[in-house]
Structure 1
C-alpha cells in the first residue's frame, strides 16, 4: 500500500512536471511566433517643434522591425497625415521606402487655422493593431497676423524633473508594488506617484501608516512626482498613505496585501541584472517558470523543478539590445503572477556621432561644410541612416529632454502611458540619479505590446490588412450588354512611360483582375484594354463588348485616436515668442521683396490676374452644357481638399446636404447626378476624391430646367480633363479605358540659398528659422564619412544641430550640438 502511495506521488509529480514542461514549450513557441510576425514601428523626425501659417513641415519617416529595430522587411508604403484639432485629415502623403527612411513634407497653406495639429504615420499592416500604436506627434501652428496668445504658449510649457510643483488641491496618489502585489511577510519595494488635477507631477510628503494608525515609513515625492519606499506587510493589517494638504489630512489606501503569493524583484547594475524570486506558498517555487523577453524576443527562461522558496539569477546585459526588458513569473498553473520591467542600457551599444565644421566661427552668409561619421565604442565605423535639422536656437528651442528617435523606439513605443520629457534620462551617460529615476519609471509602467493571456490562450485572428510593397490596379470585366454578366476576359495594361511598360493577364471566372505591385512616383498615364476572347480576334466586333470597372484605390484612413500623442519638450515661452516675431518679420521681408520686384509692372499684373480669372471661369463654362451654374466649387481654389471625398466636397455647396450615402438639395429630394455630362448613379461617383475633380456645379430652379426630369436639381461633376484618377472608370470606347494613376509622393527639395551666386548676394534679407534640412544621410563601412554644405543666414546667433538616425543593426541614436555664427 505504501509502495502504491509512493508510486502514485511519483506519477503525479511526473505528470505535473510534464505539464509544466509542455507549458514552457508553449511559451517559447508563442514568443517565437510573435517575433517571426513582428509588429512594425514608425518614427518621424521634424525640422522644428512648431510652425506658422505659410511655413513648411519637413520630416523624415523611419520604418523599422518592432523587435530588432532593423529595417522592416514587410511594408514599403508609409502613410503620413496632417490632422487638425477636430480630427479632420487636412493633408495626406503616400510614401514609398525601400530603405529604413524616406523624406516627406507638408505645406501649411494660408487657409489653415492656427492651433494644435497632429502628425500621424502608419503602414497598412500596422492597422491590424490599435491606432495607439501609430506614430502620433503634436505640433502647434501659429498665425503671425494675429496677436501673440501667451495663454496658448503657456499651455505648451512643460516642467522638468528639477522643477517641483506643489499641489494646491487634493492630488492623486498611485501605488506600484514591485512585481505586482504586496505579500504578507515579504519585504516589497513600492513606488508612490503623485499628480495634480492636470496630471502634472507634484511634490508632496507624507507617511505610510497601518490600520492601527502606527507610522511605518515616511515618503516624499520629488523628481517625476515619485517616491520609493520599502514595506513588509503584516497579516490582518491594512495600510494607507497620510498626506496633509492645507492642514487637512487626506488618506489614500494602499493595495491590500495577499496572505500568500510570489515576489519578483530586480536590481539593475548596468552590466548585469540581478533577479530575485520569492514565494511563501506551500509548494514554494516548484514548477514555476520565469521568462524574460525584449520587445517579444526571448532573452531568458528558467523552469524551477525543486520546491525552493527563493532563488536569484544574474543576467549579463553584454549581448542584449538597449530598451525595455520584461520579466514574468508564471505559477505552477501557468498563470502570470508577477511582472517586472527593466531598462537595458548596454555600454556595448554606445554610439558616437562625430560632427566637425570646416570653420569654427563662420560669418553671416558664409559657406559651412559639416563632416559626419558614426563610431561604435571601439571607434570602428558604423553604417546607418540619419537626418539632420539646423535651426535658430533663439527662435526654435531644441532640448535634449524632448522625444527623439532613441527615446521613442526604446521607451514610449513599448510602455503603457506616456513618459514625459523622455530625453531627460539620456542627457548624461552613466548618471546614477537618472538611472535610478528610470528604474522607478519601469516600476510604475507596464508592457503594452501584448498581454500573456492573449498571447498564450487566444487564437491569433487573421490579419485584415496586408503589408504593402507597391501599388495595385485592379477591377472587374463585365460583358457589355443589358445583363452586364461577369466574364473571364483577356486584359492588358499599358503604362505610357518612356519606354512604355505593358503586361497581360486573364481575369478570373468572376471577372476580377489585379496588376501590381507597381512602384512609380507622382502620376502616370495608364491604358487598360479587355477582350472577350483575345487580342487577336478584333475582326469580330463583339470581341470588344467588354466593360471595365476599376476598384477604388486605398484612400480610407483609420479611425483617429489621440491617446498616445507625443509632444516636444518646450521649456521657455520666449523661444516661441521669438519664433513668431521672426516668422512675422520674414513674411514682411518677403512681401517687400516681391513688392519691389513688381512695382513697375503693378498695374499690368493686376489686369493680367483679372484676365486669368475670367479666362478660367469661361474655360469651365465651356465644358458644361448649362453655362453658368447656380453655385460652383472650383477645386483649383481648394488645393488643401484634394484628399477629401466627393460627399465632403458636395456638402460645401450652398443648400446641398450629402450624408449616409444620399444627396439632397434643400431637402427636396434626390437630385440628378451627372459626371462629365453623363447621368450616373451615386455608386458611380462614391470612389471620387478632390484629386479626380476639376469643378462641381449645382443647378436649381430655372438653371436646371434645361435638363429633363430635373425638378430636384442637378449635381454636375466634372473630372480633371485628360488626367483621370485610377478609379475614374471613364470608358473611351468598348473594351478600353484610360486614366492617370496616382503614384507615390516625391518630397520637395529644401530651399537652400547659394551666396556664391552674385544675384543671391544682393537679394532680400535672410532670417530663416530653419537654416538647413537634410532628410537623408547614408553612411556605410565603405563610405563612413558624409559632407554636408550650406550657407548661414543674416542672423548672428547660435544654431542647434539636431541629428537623429538608426544603424543598420537597429540601434537608434541622437545628437544635439551647436553652431555659432558671428
Structure 2
C-alpha cells in the first residue's frame, strides 16, 4: 500500500487512446488527476472503547484519518460532536491531529435522550459531499426501553449506517406491521435498462431499519408472462438478467421472509442506449459494452475511463461503428486494494454508464501480536499483555479492554479495515462489511460484487470537469490553531501597512509566549501552527501606534470553525435501531450498580474530609511535572531535569550546552549554529508548551529556566508526528521566581480558547494502596490507551490492567494503522 509505489505503477498501466477528440479527453483525465492531487478527500474511522453507554459514563475515542489509501497529511484539527436526533449539537470537542489521528473523550450528563449521535469531521471534508462525514448512533442504555430478544444494534456512518446490526428474527412490539416496511429496490448494472439489450439487474431488500431481508419472486411483463426469477442470495441482495422488449413494462411479484406478498415496478427501459457489464478475472477487470442496434452516431464511438483514488489508470476509445458489442479488460497490476471506478462516455464525452468495482489484493494488513502474559478474571486480578509489531514501519494503534458483555462479538461487523477500505467510500448502509474482506474466494467476490451493484459512489460532476471547473474551497486547510486578530472601530485605510501587534499568551499556570503579529493583505493579524489547551489569557499592545490603541477594538480568535449548520441530520438518526437484549441488560446492570454505590461514595468522601490521610511523599520530579507540565506533556517517556536547585546549570552558556551528553541518543552540536538530532530526525522544541525554534531558546538565560523534559522519539504531541522526539523547556514561575509574574501590567487583555483539555483514563493499580479500595469496583471499561506507537527501534509494548469485581469475560480490541496505510485489528477474549 505504499503510495509512492502505487503512483509509479500507474505510469506502467496501459492507456489505450487514439484519434478523435483527444484534446477533450485530455481535459477530462487531466481534471480527474488534478482533483486527486489538489483535492484529496478525507475519511474518518473512530475506535470507541465500547458501543453503548450509560449516563454518567465517559465516551473514550480514537480517530484515524485517511486521505486516499494513506494517513492524511491534510487536516490538523479534528472536530467531534454529540448531537441529539434533531441535529442539535450537545457537546463539541476540537482536538489536534497527530500522525493522522486524534483522541479525546466526552463525559455524558444525566439529561440525555435514549439515542445520541457521534459526528466527526475535518473542515476540509466540509468542502465536499458532507454525507461522508463520520457519524455513529449511540444508545444510552439506562434510557433505553427493552426490545425483542433477537434484535441487535446498528450504527450509522455519514449518510449511511456503518455498523454491525443483525437482521432481527423477531421485531420490537412497537412495529405492529413489519412487512409493510419492507422495501425492494432494483439496480440495473451500469445505470439503465435499455430496450433490446440484456442487462444484469441487482436487487436489494431491506426493512424499516435498513437491515437486509430475504425474499424471492418473479418478474412479469404487462401481459402477465413471467420473464425472470430472482431471489436474495446474501444479506438481502441478489441478481437476475433481463432483456427489456419494446412496448413492455415490468413488475416484480415477490414474497418476503415472513411470507408477505408484494408488488414492485421495475424502472422503465430507455429506447436506445448502451450497457456496461463487468466481471473480475484474476489480474484483470473484464468488461462488455453493448449498444442498441439503432443507436445514434454519438453511441457508436465510446470512451471508457478507469480511475483509482482519483488517478486515471485506464483510458480507451471504443469503435462500435460496425459491431454492437465490444469487450476488453483493465490490467490491475500495481493497483492496491480499493475502489476502481469505470465511467463510459459517448462521442461527445457525456457520461452514459458507470460502474464501481472492488479490487482486493489482500495487501492491507500488517501483523500485530497480542500475547496475554498473565491473565485472570478473578476479582481485581492483574492482567498483563505484550503487544508486538514485528515491523520497521511506524505504526499507531489504540486498545480497549472492556467487560465482554458490553460489546457484542460480530466478526463481520464494521471496523477500521472495512470502514477505511470499503464502507467509508460508499453511499448507503453496508451490512456486516468486514465479511467481504475475510476472504477472496469466488463466493465472497460474488457477494462483494452485489455490494458494488447496489451502492452508489460519485465523486465527479462530469459537466464541471469538461468545462475545467474546480470545486469551490470554502474551508482552506487548517494548520492547527491560529492566533488571529481582527480590528474593528477603524477603517482599513487607517491601518498602516507595517502595523504590528505585540501579543503575550499566558496559560493558567502562568507560562507565557510572546508573538509579534504583522498585518496581512486581508487586514488581519495571524500566526498559525499553534498547539495550546484549555483557555489562555491574551495580552496585547500596538507597536508605537497610539491612534489604533485608542480607537480600535481587537477581536481574537483561534481560527477554528463552529459546527456546520448547513449539514442536515441523517434520516437514519431518527430510526429507533434495534439493540441486543443481553447487551442492554448488561449495560443497565452497570448503570444500576453505579447509581446504588453513589451514596456510599459520597459518604466516603465526606468521611475522608474529617480524617487525616497518610499518603506517600511525592518526588521532586513529580512535583515539578504537576506544576509545569499539562495535557500531552504530562508524564510520558522522558528524561527530566529540575534546574531550580541544580548548581551545575549556572555555568552553562545556554540550555543546549547544559543538555549535551545528558540524554542518551540526543546529539547536540553548538559549534556556530546549534543543531539537534535524535534517531536520525530533528527534535521538536517547545517553550512553555508552545512550539518554537532553536533561536527562541538558545538566548534564554539558564537561570530563568526551571524544568526541562526530553521526550524520547516518537513524541506524538509534536507536528509531523515527532519522529525526533521533543524537548520541552519551562521558564520559572510561582514560587520558583522572586516576583509575581501572573500579570502583565499596562497591556489590554482578552481570552482565547484552545484545544479540549485531555482527560486521563483512570486505571487502578491494586498492587498499591488505592483510595476507596473498600468500595465495589464496577468499571465497565477496564483499560483504554489511545496511543500505542511503534517503530523499528520500539516494536514491543507491555500493558497492565486490573479486573473489576464483576467481569468474568474480558474483551480486548486492538486497532491501528502504519505510515503506509496498512491496517491491523486484533480481538481477544479472556475468560
TM-score normalized with structure 1 length? 0.72
- 1:602, CA displacement in angstroms? 8.4
Written as runs of structure 1 = structure 2, the 5 A alignment for 1:283-682 is: 287-304=301-318, 307=321, 308-359=323-374, 361=376, 363-374=378-389, 382-426=393-437, 428-430=438-440, 432-457=442-467, 459-477=469-487, 486-488=494-496, 489-496=499-506, 500-507=512-519, 512-533=524-545, 545=550, 547-553=552-558, 554-559=560-565, 560-563=567-570, 572-596=580-604, 598-599=606-607
1:103 lines up with 2:103 in the alignment:
yes
- 1:230, CA displacement in angstroms? 1.5
1:326–1:490 CA distance, 2 compared to 1 (3 A)? closer
1:44 lines up with 2:59 in the alignment:
no
Whether contact under 8 Å (1:755, 1:761) holds in the other structure is: no
**Distance in 2 between residues matched to 1:571 and 1:316, nearest whole Å:** 44
- 1:57, CA displacement in angstroms? 0.6
Whether contact under 8 Å (1:370, 1:789) holds in the other structure is: yes
1:811–1:455 CA distance, 2 compared to 1 (3 A)? farther
Whether contact under 8 Å (2:127, 2:474) holds in the other structure is: yes
- 1:516, CA displacement in angstroms? 3.2
**Distance in 1 between residues matched to 2:547 and 2:512, nearest whole Å:** 28
1:156–1:113 CA distance, 2 compared to 1 (3 A)? farther
Q: Once the two structures are superposed, what CA deviation does each residue of 1:127-172 show, in whole Å capped at 9, x if it has no partner?
A: 22243222111112244xx7x6214999864663696999633843
**Distance in 1 between residues matched to 2:291 and 2:267, nearest whole Å:** 19
Q: Once the two structures are superposed, what CA deviation does each residue of 1:78-103 show, in whole Å capped at 9, x if it has no partner?
A: 11111123432221111112311121
* Larger gyration radius, structure 1 or structure 2: 1
Structure 2 equivalent of residue 60 of structure 1: 62
SS in 2 for 1:358: strand
Q: Structure 1 stretch 492-501 or stretch 365-374: which is displaced more? A: 492-501
- 1:104, CA displacement in angstroms? 0.4
Structure 1 equivalent of residue 82 of structure 2: 82
Whether contact under 8 Å (2:190, 2:277) holds in the other structure is: yes
Whether contact under 8 Å (2:337, 2:362) holds in the other structure is: no
- 1:789, CA displacement in angstroms? 2.1
Q: Once the two structures are superposed, what CA deviation does each residue of 1:316-354 show, in whole Å capped at 9, x if it has no partner?
A: 545323222211111212111111111222123343332
- 1:800, CA displacement in angstroms? 1.7
1:60–1:107 CA distance, 2 compared to 1 (3 A)? same
Structure 2 equivalent of residue 708 of structure 1: none
Structure 1 equivalent of residue 780 of structure 2: 769
**Distance in 2 between residues matched to 1:799 and 1:316, nearest whole Å:** 46
Structure 2 equivalent of residue 126 of structure 1: 125
1:150 to 128, 146, 150: 146
Written as runs of structure 1 = structure 2, the 5 A alignment for 1:220-259 is: 220-221=231-232, 223-243=234-254, 250-259=262-271
SS in 1 for 2:380: coil
Whether contact under 8 Å (1:402, 1:568) holds in the other structure is: no
**Distance in 2 between residues matched to 1:530 and 1:293, nearest whole Å:** 54
Q: Which runs of 5+ in 1 are unaligned?
A: 1-15, 534-540, 605-731
Structure 2 equivalent of residue 707 of structure 1: none
Whether contact under 8 Å (2:78, 2:102) holds in the other structure is: no
**Distance in 2 between residues matched to 1:511 and 1:259, nearest whole Å:** 60
Whether contact under 8 Å (1:46, 1:60) holds in the other structure is: yes
Structure 2 equivalent of residue 756 of structure 1: 767
Q: How many residue pairs get matched?
A: 658
1:390–1:327 CA distance, 2 compared to 1 (3 A)? same
SS in 2 for 1:52: coil
Structure 1 equivalent of residue 91 of structure 2: 91
1:796–1:519 CA distance, 2 compared to 1 (3 A)? closer
**Distance in 2 between residues matched to 1:96 and 1:547, nearest whole Å:** 32
SS in 1 for 2:28: helix
Structure 1 equivalent of residue 72 of structure 2: 72
- 1:248, CA displacement in angstroms? 9.3
SS in 1 for 2:45: strand
SS in 2 for 1:212: coil
**Distance in 2 between residues matched to 1:808 and 1:508, nearest whole Å:** 36
Q: Once the two structures are superposed, what CA deviation does each residue of 1:647-698 show, in whole Å capped at 9, x if it has no partner?
A: xxxxxxxxxxxxxxxxxxxxxxxxxxxxxxxxxxxxxxxxxxxxxxxxxxxx
**Distance in 2 between residues matched to 1:284 and 1:393, nearest whole Å:** 61
SS in 2 for 1:60: strand
Q: Once the two structures are superposed, what CA deviation does each residue of 1:33-77 show, in whole Å capped at 9, x if it has no partner?
A: 111121222222111111111100101122221x23x22222211
Whether contact under 8 Å (2:383, 2:803) holds in the other structure is: yes
**Distance in 1 between residues matched to 2:237 and 2:522, nearest whole Å:** 63
Across the aligned residues of Structure 1 and Structure 2, the Cα RMSD in angstroms comes to 3.7
**Distance in 2 between residues matched to 1:127 and 1:228, nearest whole Å:** 36
- 1:286, CA displacement in angstroms? 5.4
1:457–1:416 CA distance, 2 compared to 1 (3 A)? farther
Whether contact under 8 Å (1:403, 1:422) holds in the other structure is: yes
Q: Once the two structures are superposed, what CA deviation does each residue of 1:196-221 show, in whole Å capped at 9, x if it has no partner?
A: 45544333322112333222222223
Structure 1 equivalent of residue 829 of structure 2: 818
**Distance in 2 between residues matched to 1:509 and 1:454, nearest whole Å:** 31
Whether contact under 8 Å (2:383, 2:801) holds in the other structure is: yes
**Distance in 2 between residues matched to 1:447 and 1:527, nearest whole Å:** 50
Whether contact under 8 Å (2:395, 2:817) holds in the other structure is: yes
SS in 1 for 2:569: coil
Structure 1 equivalent of residue 190 of structure 2: 179
Structure 1 equivalent of residue 722 of structure 2: none
Q: Once the two structures are superposed, what CA deviation does each residue of 1:503-542 show, in whole Å capped at 9, x if it has no partner?
A: 3244469864223342222233331101454xxxxxxx87
SS in 2 for 1:516: strand
SS in 2 for 1:240: strand
Q: Structure 1 stretch 321-330 or stretch 399-408: which is displaced more? A: 399-408
Whether contact under 8 Å (1:71, 1:810) holds in the other structure is: yes
**Distance in 2 between residues matched to 1:348 and 1:542, nearest whole Å:** 65
SS in 2 for 1:413: helix
Q: Which runs of 5+ in 2 are unaligned?
A: 1-16, 155-164, 172-176, 613-742
- 1:777, CA displacement in angstroms? 1.4
Whether contact under 8 Å (1:157, 1:573) holds in the other structure is: no
**Distance in 1 between residues matched to 2:751 and 2:181, nearest whole Å:** 62
**Distance in 1 between residues matched to 2:477 and 2:428, nearest whole Å:** 27
1:478–1:114 CA distance, 2 compared to 1 (3 A)? closer
Q: Once the two structures are superposed, what CA deviation does each residue of 1:210-247 show, in whole Å capped at 9, x if it has no partner?
A: 33322222222353222211223334433322236899
**Distance in 2 between residues matched to 1:584 and 1:359, nearest whole Å:** 31
**Distance in 2 between residues matched to 1:543 and 1:210, nearest whole Å:** 80
**Distance in 1 between residues matched to 2:811 and 2:745, nearest whole Å:** 62
Structure 1 equivalent of residue 13 of structure 2: none
